[in-house]
Structure formats: C-alpha cells, structure tokens
Structure 1
C-alpha cells in the first residue's frame, strides 16, 4: 500500500497505537487478544487503509502468523507433554543438575539451548525445551526467569545471527557476504553475546524478578508419573531427532544451492522433506508416542494426554496471532516504507547506520525478519560503494541482526509467546524479556563493531 500520510504522521500513529494498547492491557485490564484486535483495526483505519480492506488486511496478517506459529507450537507442546508426563523431562533435568551442579543449572540450560538452537527456529526450540525448564525450576524454586531466560535467550541469539536461520541468510545474500563465514563468525558471536547479554544479565538482575513457577500451560495442572521414567539417552535421542533431521535438510539444501549435488534426486528430496521443521517435529512426536507413552498408557489415555496438552496453549496461540496482526497492520500501512525512505541517508558510518536503521524498523513494525531484510536492501548500495572486506560484510550482517533483535515489545509476536509461556503479564514481560533482548542485541552490535574495526 502507498502511504497516505507523511513519515512523521505515520510514526505518530504507530506510537499512539502502542501507547493505547499498553493502556488497554495494563491499566484497563482488557484481555490482550481483544485489545490487540481492536487496536489493529483502529490503527489500520487511522493510517489510511480503506475501510473495506481493513478486515482483509488484519485477517491476512493474523493467519500468516498462525501459519508460522500454531503448527510448531502445537507439535512441540505435545512432545513436551509426553516428556513431562512420562518423567523424561525430570530425567533430563536431574542429569543436567548432576553434571553441572545447582549453581550452574541456568548455564547448563543455556548451553543446551545454544546447541539445539543452531538448526531449530526460536519458537519450536523454546516449546520443546519448556518441560526441561520447568523441571529444573521446580527442583530449585525461586523465579522461573532464572532458568527460562538463559534458554530462551540462547534460542533468540542463534535465530538472530546464525545461518541457516532465514534472517541472517537473507541479509548476507543481499549484501554479498559469505554464508559460510557468517555461520562461523556468527556462532562465536552468538555464544559470547549470549553469555554477556543474557546469562550475566539474568544471573545478576533479571532472574531476580519474581515470577512464580507455573507449568500449567504444559501440564494442564496434572501431575507427572515418575514411577517408571525412561533412560536419559532415550529422552536425549528424542530431542536430538528433529535436530538431526533439520540439520540434514540445511546441509543438503545448501549443497544443492551451490551446485555441489544435483538439483534432482528422490532420496535427497525425501531427506529435505523430513527435515522441514513441522515434519521433523511430527516425526519426533510419533517416536515419543510409540517409545515413551505406548508402554505406560492405553491408547485412550494417550489421546487424552495429547488432547489436554493443546487446551492451555490455545490462548497463547491466539494472542500471538493477534500480535502478528498488529505488526502486520503497521507494515501494510506503509510505516516501514516511509521509515525506509527517511532513513536511507543518515550520514552515519555504515556499520552504525546498519544498526540504527534496523533498530528503528524493528521498533516500528515488530518483525525482526522484515527489519533485517529491509535494512540490508537499504544499505546495499552504500555497501557496494564502500567495498568492505569479507569479514566486514559479516560484521554488517551482525549489526543489522543486532538492531533487529533489540526492544521486542507488543507488536512482536515473540513477545507474547514468551510472556504467556512463562506466566508473565505485559508489564513484567517488558521489564524482563524486552530488556534481555535489548542487552543481547547491544552485545551483538559491540562485537560487530570490533569485527568491523579489525576486518
């Protein structure tokens, strides 16, 4: 849609929409789903979207988010429920604790999430890890954030800057950076930025914000049966299965893209298919069902178990979809395009400009992927003129990803996903998740500056 108003007016509309949304939810205690839908419609009208098109635009953005999130979350929470109910999550938690000790439990969860987050998308990885996070948290008590944020932050770090995740791949391709070098440097930067911007910040500050441990979103309030728990390696194999399948998909797709293997081949096609994230999670769910649950429960009990796991997440999925609706309306109204035009020539150093543009776009419209791809396109001409080195190109990708990470708030569907999974209200999510995403993004940017300087 061509913007109806100037960039300044659109920015004011976006700022007013966020402010009204926060007042409705925090002050007036309106249900988040209703408030998001209401403000989405109002924002679209205020931004000049034709009234007849408003429902179509809003529903399209809602369905796009649901299409991305709902299937992954549903499959992941079923796997999590089976692991929790059969005692598998407790076995994993006990093993982590025995190897790392109580004081290093948040570190252990974060390191495990970094490994699992390499090929797995943020939302899918987080939901599969939920039973482990809650099992460890219940063992030691205190705030669930002490254990949740290191794991969630690890998935966020890998998703933001490490190929094969779509954002960094798209940005690297747009700027002409090497995907392989971006992967190698990105892994190191992700680990260091996670340690500084997530782990240390959580241990010293955010983990002390008291959020009660409530795993009803996973268990529905039912107690797990720990009389006959599975072996540690059995549970680990189930968690590794989607990791291996998705990893194989990534490798084969990359080899096909660069011509190392033929474009056609039935066996490779099959491996690529089973390595798609929803398919890999479905396979892991089937394996978990028939190796963990079938020996402990009747088929009717398994059906009830899986059915009950979906009930608590319905509200989460709908609220997340409504958050995607709000962000989608902001993008459709032309706010991103208007910002792009006004930010194209800031007169800042290239590496700083990349971070600033991505940050403003992230805050304005919520989607990290849109902020990444738009910023890469905006600075691509300047990059060509500057002729940076291969390492500096990677630094630019990292700087863009850093800006696209900071300040996650109410127009970001991930904000609602994390907040509702861990039982936080909007105010607490802003105090914790938003702050953690910002410290993570700033840490990535500082490291990108260092790479740019030595590159």
Structure 2
C-alpha cells in the first residue's frame, strides 16, 4: 500500500478518471489526486525524499511532520511562484496583440515572406530557435496569439500550428543550453557546453522534422476549430482580420512585445558564457554595472512585464486612449490567466506529492540491474521518471544523477555527450495530466484534455523516440573519443 508505484497508479486513476470519466474540472481532479497521494505517502518516505534532495536532517524531519494541506499548499505555491507572473503577463501580451492588430500585422508580414503553404514550417523552426534562449512556456505564450491570427488568415490548420509551436519549443527546452535541464546535465555529466549546444541543436532539428509529419496527419484526422475564449473571441479576431493594412500598427511596433523579452532573456543567458562571479569582480565598474543592468532586465518575470507594458502601450495607442475598452480587454486577459494559473499550480502540487513518495528512487532501483546499453538505459530511466512525476527537468536531473555515478562512465566507447542527449530526449515521454506544460498547452490553445492526449502527447513521444534512434546511430558512427 505504501509502494510508490502503487501510489502512482492510484493517483493516475483519480486524475484521469476524474477528468475524463467524471467530468470533474481539472483543478479539482488534480487537487483530489494530490490529496490522495499525500495521504497514502508515509512520513518516512517524505523524510527520505527531503534527505535525498540535500535537506538537513532537521528540515527533512520537519517536512515529514507537516500536515497534508501544508505540503500541498507549499507545492501549489511553488508552482505559482514559477509561472504565475509569466502567465498573467503573457495573457496581457496575447490579448493586447490580438486587440491592437499587432498579431494580424505579424501574420500578414510572415505570409508575405514564406507564403501560405510554408506557414506551419516557419512556426515549427521559429519556435525551436526561440526555445533555445527562452523557456518553453514563454515561447508558447508569445506565439499562440500569432497561431490564432494565422488560422483566421488561412481558414484552417489551427491544430497544426499549435503542434508546430509545441514541437519546436519543447525539444529546444530539453536539448539546448541555457535552459535548466541541459545546464544541469552538462555539469553533472561533464559535457562541454559548446558541444551540448551543437549536438542538441542537430538532434533537435532532426526530431522536429520527424514530428512534423505526425502533426500534419493529426491535423487532418482530428481537426480542431479555433474556439471562442474569454480573452480571444472569434468575432473580435475576425474583425481584426478584416482591417486594412493602414489601420494596423507598424511591424516593428507589433514585434516589440515579443522582441523585448526575447532580447533581454537571451542577453542575460549569453552573459553566463562570458562572466562568472569571479571574473566579473575583476572587470571595470562600468562593465559590472552594465552586466547587472542586463541581468535585472533579463530575469524572465521582469522581461515579460516589460513585454506586457509594450503590448499595453500598443493597445492604448490603437484604441485612441479609450480607457474603457482597454480596461475590458485587460479584465478578460487576467480572468483567463487566473484559470490557467490555478490548473497549472494544481498540476504542480500533484507532481510534487508524487515526488515525495520516492517514485524517482524506486524507479532507479527497478532499472539498476538491467543489462542493457547505457544510451537506451539513460533514455528509459528518464522517460519513466518523466511519465511518473511530470517534470522534464526533474526527470533529467534524476537520470543524470543515476548515470553519472556509474563506475564505467569513464570507460565509454563514445563521448558522454550521447548519454546527455539520450536523457534529454527521454524527458519528452510522456506528457500528460501531471505535467504543468500539458495544462499550459491545453488552456492557452483551448484544446480539450482528450485532444491534447491524442495529439500533443504522442507528438513529443514520437520526437523523443526518433531522437534516441539518431543518438544511437551517431554514437556508433561518430563516437567523438
């Protein structure tokens, strides 16, 4: 009854059964699943979990003695702290870009360059390269308004555009530094950052190219219409679509809400390649202050706030100072963001309670004695941990911690880069309802849970498996040792 695998099974049954079978609101189903998982987890498992994460013995004991409500609230609040401001600001950016006509201006300009037939490919590879310096969720928030405007322009292919965005951004997020998962990998596995960036980019481009045919097929088999939402009514988008070019904002102004966070976040990430705390202290005062200023603006919450301010200014100018219209738009955007934040945070709480059962350590025990090649083993461990507890980053950290300690890792016949890439690809399997990213995709794009499980989840799974195949072949042909 206290085995983490059994607890995981019960948690999955409650969440999936509650949402699909009982038609519970996802927020309620996830909280109920978190409560039952927390109730079934013994205090000794919680204490061991905390110790394994580096907590002091006194802190681990204190965590094990916390009430179920406190533990759920802590994980709920932790997830909210990570994504709350981002989602709120992204919702303002999206709503403002749609209402002001900025999204329509970008779509028209994009179509002039790529043509209608290649629009999904531009979304696919554009989201991949945006996803290298910017987190998956931020890329998705920024590009969904463009997908909605593009769909009205094309009259079809909404699901294809959404899947292209998720495919590109998700693979870059796990394969290419400086996102947290790959950064941890390169430090734990002693992989040069430049090698990881090149290898991750090459594998990522192959995987997104392999995922594209599935996205096209899924779009034909299960076409998803562009639906009304609180923050983006179809009637409003259609009215914007009918505007003349001269009534839309300029292209440079339309791009500002996206470019501001992108440039600042990218600049902050690039500084890590040039300065560490020791080398920065030796620099002139002007350089130190400049770096500090860039780091301040490049913090993701600040960068998104600045992007939202630019989007809001754009909306005010386009609405000719109509305060009531602007206020109504912002209320709709924040109401939509509030629902997304609640569901995403509940998903984080559910995943956090699963982690406290010791599911990662249990999986490590089950896979420890497998006599199989290290690359597929790395992929398998990461995939199982990801599917069990929802976080791709946690899965990557868990798998790298297991594999970096193996005695034969220094005697590989190929560079450990390939192990790192296998771990990154394994973290794509299988996104479902315990993953906050699953809910972000569902709620920001207005897909139902069933539609996401049929399309988004298989898409990432296919790309992860293709990545494994490519890595095994590359390790055989180009061992790099």
| TM-score for the superposition, normalised by structure 2 | 0.87
After superposition, the C-alpha distances for 1:307-343 in whole angstroms (9 at most, x for unaligned) are 3211122212111111111111000121122222332
Q: Which of 165, 173, 194 is the aligned partner of 2:179?
A: 165
| 1:305 equivalent in alignment to 2:329 | yes
Structure 2 residue corresponding to 1:402, chosen from 425, 428, 432? 425
Q: Aligned runs of 1:108-147 on 2, under 5 Å?
A: 108-147=122-161
**1:348-394: CA deviations, max 9, x gaps?**
211111111111111111111110001101011227644347x7222
What SS does the aligned partner of 1:342 have? helix
2:451 maps to which residue? 428
Equivalent residue in structure 2 for 1:177, among 180, 184, 191? 191
Cα 1:32–1:446, aligned 2, differ >3 Å: closer, same or farther? same
Unaligned stretches of 5+ residues in structure 1: none
CA distance in structure 1 between the partners assigned to 2:315 and 2:276 by the alignment: 38
In 2, Cα distance between the equivalents of 1:427 and 1:237? Answer: 35
Q: Distance in 1 between matches of 2:445 and 2:363?
A: 34
Partner of 1:241: 260
CA pair 294-398 structure 1, distance change in 2 beyond 3 A:
same
Distance change >3 Å, CA 90–CA 295, structure 1 → 2:
closer
Distance between the aligned counterparts of 2:368 and 2:383, measured in 1? 13
**Separation of aligned partners in 2, 1:313 and 1:232:** 26
SS in 2 for 1:379: helix
Task: Specify the alignment match of 1:370 in structure 2.
Answer: 394
Q: How does 1:343-358 map to 2 (within 5 A)?
A: 343-358=367-382
- Distance in 2 (CA, whole Å) between partners of 1:257 and 1:344 is 37
| Bigger shift: residues 262-271 or 411-420 | 262-271
Specify the SS of the correspondent of 1:327: helix
- 2:301 counterpart (278, 282, 305): 278
Q: Is the 8 A contact 2:128 2:168 kept in 1?
A: yes
**In 1, Cα distance between equivalents of 2:291 and 2:149:** 38
Distance in 2 (CA, whole Å) between partners of 1:375 and 1:404 is 9
Query: Structure 1 237/207 Cα, relative in aligned 2: closer, same or farther at 3 Å?
Result: farther
- Deviating more after overlay: 331-340 vs 173-182: 331-340
Match of 1:10 in 2: 4
Q: 221, 237, 240: which one pairs with 1:208?
A: 221
Check if 1:24 corresponds to 2:23.
no
| Structure 2 unaligned residues grouped into runs of 5+ | 44-63
Q: Is the 8 A contact 1:11 1:335 kept in 2?
A: yes
For residue 75 of structure 1, the aligned residue among 73, 89, 92 is 89
User: CA offset at residue 262 of structure 1?
Assistant: 3.8
Contact 1:220 1:312 in 2 (8 A): no
RMSD: 2.2
Give CA-to-partner distance per residue, 1:218-237, whole Å, 9 cap, x none: 32566155462112233234
Structure 2 Cα separation of the partners of residues 395 and 349 of structure 1 = 12
Partner Cα distance (1:160, 1:422) in 2: 22
Paired positions, count: 447
Q: TM-score, normalization: structure 1?
A: 0.92
Q: CA deviation at 1:45?
A: 1.0
Residues 248 and 384 (structure 1 numbering): CA distance in 2 closer, same or farther, change over 3 Å?
Answer: farther
Alignment map for 1:382-393 (pairs within 5 Å): 382=406, 385-388=409-412, 392-393=415-416
Partner in structure 1 of residue 472 of structure 2: 449
